[in-house]
Structure 1
């Protein structure tokens, strides 16, 4: 009778020692999992924010570098290649002679600006020791012509000589048959190494 009462008390009363420890272990495991989950979420969020911040900083640095690299400067005339080519190697006496002008920035990784007005970019024509024509002379005030020369960018233009000899600012007689040299002139500097030869017949 007493044994039955003790068994009923054990059944209806507090849980057994084994059950108590099992529950405690389960609770601790759940708590550990929750803590680990919180730590993982916090670390993930921190890493994501750090990565986003690094990406933004890199983008800003690249943009700044790009702006520094591509910001145009004033052209150094030593870095400007001037190519001059007569439209025809042989021309008729009394006919206009056209010259193709090409300006190129030899430092193409750094865009630059220059004045391409007719009093800055010109052609001088000579035969023997005689100067026949200078394109920038007697034109009055030339309007400024800003040019932007960048990577793989060339400026193309055409100058035309009317085929007459200039004596000062007065038009003279027609230039005679013979061999002539066209010398590029950039900012009053003759570029003799880029001169071109043509003839009048």
Structure 2
């Protein structure tokens, strides 16, 4: 202890005191740096554990996880759908049932969807101003819905038979039979109507 407090050597005592002060300062700096490094590692490890354990630092979702992929083709409408009705004959003898072909055509450059089921597709028969028959008055339940995906320029055809009876909404029975004469028929799908087709019953 006396040697430390009373440095001995050929040089003046002040030289030895300065060397000891510098050495102690270096030791103190190294100690501070070491403690700071240890504390920094501990904080980083704690933050990593907290984020990985589902705490208050969740990772942001990637764009693919939040992207909306539920959109599909739009519904066919007046601007994209053409409806035509064609009778299988121009004139029908007594007892012959007219058969109409309903054709749906996508006139756009992209696909669209349409319900062509019997609950959404109507064939209406008129005689002048007299409403004779509608396929919606008494529709079949097994084909009530038929969703179609029509590609650009795509077509769908379905046949509708009229058994030469009169109908009313609610499927009323016992109505008088239509008489021989000239009739018109139109088809309606998705708010789009065909032009009227004329035919004759004998």
TM-score range, shorter chain: 0.5 to 0.7
Task: Measure, in 1, the Cα distance between the counterparts of 2:95 and 2:129.
Answer: 21
Q: Alpha carbons of 1:156 and 1:183: their partners in 2 closer, same or farther (altered >3 Å)?
A: same
- Name the structure 1 match of 2:33: none
CA positional deviation for 1:171: 4.6
- Name the structure 2 match of 1:145: 146
Name structure 2 gaps, 5 residues minimum.
Answer: 1-71
Q: TM-score if structure 2 supplies the norm length? A: 0.57
Q: TM-score if structure 1 supplies the norm length? A: 0.58
3-state SS, counterpart of residue 96 of structure 2: coil
Does the CA contact (< 8 Å) of 2:78 and 2:192 recur in 1?
A: no
Does the CA contact (< 8 Å) of 1:74 and 1:114 recur in 2?
A: yes
* Higher helix proportion: 1
* Higher strand proportion: 1
3-state SS, counterpart of residue 78 of structure 1: coil
CA positional deviation for 1:151: 2.5
1:175 aligns with 2:191: no
1:130 aligns with 2:122: no
CA positional deviation for 1:190: 6.6
Task: Measure, in 2, the Cα distance between the counterparts of 1:145 and 1:179.
Answer: 32
Structure 1 runs (4+) deviating above 4 angstroms are: none
Does the CA contact (< 8 Å) of 1:93 and 1:175 recur in 2?
A: no
- What's the RMSD between the two structures over aligned residues? 2.0
- Name the structure 2 match of 1:97: 98
Does the CA contact (< 8 Å) of 2:118 and 2:140 recur in 1?
A: no
- Name the structure 2 match of 1:114: 114
3-state SS, counterpart of residue 79 of structure 2: helix
Aligned residues: 128
- Further displaced range: 122-131 or 89-98: 89-98
